[in-house]
C-alpha cells in the first residue's frame, strides 16, 4: 500500500501534475514529454471470481499508448491483474479497473477492497455492453450499490451532474459520458461517483468505455472519446486529496 500512498501524495491536489498532463495534450515534443514523465505506474484490472473480469483486456495496451501519447503519465503499456484476494498486489496501483464488484463476497476480498479504497486507491467500475453477460443497466447499478454498501458502509453513491469536473478536467464532454451502445437503456445512465466524505474514491459506469476502446462500436472517433473519458477519470482521481 505504500506505493498507492506515495503516488497519491505525489499527485493528490497537485496542480503541477495537471499542468504536466495538459502539456501532454498541447502538442509538446515527445522528448520534452518524456523528460517530464515521473515514476512508472501500471494499469490493472481487478481480478474477482467473475469469469468476465478480464473481458476486453487485450485492448488495454491501446489505452495505455493513448495515455502516453496524450499526457506525460508514465504508464506501463502492459495490463496487469490485481487480485482482490491480495491486498499487496492491489496496492501497486493507484487506480484499478473492474467489470463489476457484485461477485466480491468473501470476507477477505471485501476487507481488502475496502482497505485499498480507504488508503487512497481509486476504483473504476465499467460494465460491458453485452446484456447477455451483464443483465440490464438498472440491475447492474443496483448490484454495485448493494456491494459497495456492504464493502464500504461509510461510502455514498451519487449520480454526477453533466457539468461535473470529471467531464471537463482535461477533455470536454457535453451531456455526460460517451456510450458504446444503447441496449435496453444502457445509454440512459451517466457516471455515478463513489465518495467517502468529500473525496471521490471511485466511479460506476454503464457506458461500456472498455468496449469503445476495444472497437466494438463502428462509429468514427467513438473509440477515441471513450479513451478520453477514461483519461479524464484518471486525472480527476489523481487530483483528489488522498485518504480522509
Query: What CATH number did the domain enclosing 204 receive?
Result: 3.40.50.12140
Question: What was the pLDDT predicted at 26?
Answer: 47
pLDDT of residue 227: 97
The candidate with the shortest Cα–Cα distance to 143, out of 97, 182, 101, is: 101
C-beta separation of 105 from 82 below 8 A: no
Under 8 Å between Cβ of 235 and 169: yes
Output phi, psi for 25, to 5 deg. Answer: -100, 5
- Residue 184 pLDDT: 62
How far lies 168's CA from each of 18, 161, 233, in Å? 12, 12, 10
Task: Dig out the grid coordinates for 43 from the structure.
Answer: 494499469
Q: Is residue 244 part of a domain?
A: no
CA nearest neighbour of 194 among 116, 112, 123: 123
Residue given cell 502538442 in the structure block: 27
The pLDDT value recorded for residue 88 is 95
Rounded to whole angstroms, the Cα distance separating 134 from 89 reads 26
Tell whether 203 is covered by a domain.
yes
Counting the structural domains of the chain, the total is 1
Q: Is 195 in a helix, a strand, or coil?
A: strand
- Distance, in Å, from the CA atom of 72 to the CA atom of 69, rounded to the nearest integer, reads 8
Are 13 and 241 in contact by the 8 Å Cβ rule? The answer is yes
Q: What residues contact 49, with CB distance under 8 A and at least 6 apart?
A: 103, 104, 105
pLDDT, position 243 = 64
DSSP 68-86: HHHS---EEEEEEEEETT-
Contact 157, 192 (CB under 8 A): yes
| Structural domain contains residue 215 | yes
pTM given for the model: 0.86
79 in a structural domain: yes
Tens digits of pLDDT across the chain (244 residues):
444 444 444 433 344 455 445 544 444 454 544 544 456 788 999 999 999 899 999 999 999 999 988 888 888 899 999 999 999 999 999 999 999 999 999 999 999 999 999 999 999 999 988 877 667 888 899 999 999 999 999 999 999 999 999 999 999 999 899 999 766 666 678 999 999 999 999 999 999 999 999 999 989 999 999 999 999 999 899 887 566 5
Residue 49 counted as domain residue: yes
Can you give the pLDDT at residue 15?
40
> Of 196, 202, 177, 195, which Cα lies nearest the Cα of 100?
202
Q: How many CA atoms lie within 13 A of 51 on its CB side?
A: 2
- Domain of 191 in residue numbering reads as 2-238
E strands, 12-146, in order: 41-47, 75-83, 95-98, 122-126
243 located within any domain: no
Amino acid at each position: 500500500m505504500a506505493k498507492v500512498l506515495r503516488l497519491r501524495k505525489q499527485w493528490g491536489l497537485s496542480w503541477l501534475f495537471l499542468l504536466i498532463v495538459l502539456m501532454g495534450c498541447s502538442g509538446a515534443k515527445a522528448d520534452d514529454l518524456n523528460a517530464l514523465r515521473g515514476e512508472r505506474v501500471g494499469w490493472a484490472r481487478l481480478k474477482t471470481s467473475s469469469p468476465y473480469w478480464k473481458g476486453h483486456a487485450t485492448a488495454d495496451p491501446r489505452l495505455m499508448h493513448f495515455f502516453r501519447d496524450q499526457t506525460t503519465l508514465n504508464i506501463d503499456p502492459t495490463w496487469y491483474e490485481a487480485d482482490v484476494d491480495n491486498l499487496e498486489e492491489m496496492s501497486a496501483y493507484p487506480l484499478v479497473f473492474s467489470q463489476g464488484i457484485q461477485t466480491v463476497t468473501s470476507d477477505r476480498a471485501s476487507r481488502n477492497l475496502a482497505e485499498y479504497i480507504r488508503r487512497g486507491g481509486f476504483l473504476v467500475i465499467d460494465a460491458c455492453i453485452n446484456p447477455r453477460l451483464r443483465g440490464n443497466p438498472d440491475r447492474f447499478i443496483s448490484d454495485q450499490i448493494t456491494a459497495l454498501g456492504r464493502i464500504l458502509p461509510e461510502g455514498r453513491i451519487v449520480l454526477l451532474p453533466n457539468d461535473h469536473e470529471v467531464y471537463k478536467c482535461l477533455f470536454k464532454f457535453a451531456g455526460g459520458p460517451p456510450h458504446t451502445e444503447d441496449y435496453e437503456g444502457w445509454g440512459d445512465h451517466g457516471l455515478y461517483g463513489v465518495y467517502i466524505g468529500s473525496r471521490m474514491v471511485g466511479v460506476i459506469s454503464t457506458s461500456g468505455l472498455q468496449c469503445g476502446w476495444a472497437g466494438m462500436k463502428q462509429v468514427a472517433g467513438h473509440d477515441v472519446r471513450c479513451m478520453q473519458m477514461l483519461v479524464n477519470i484518471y486525472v480527476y482521481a489523481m487530483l483528489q486529496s488522498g485518504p480522509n
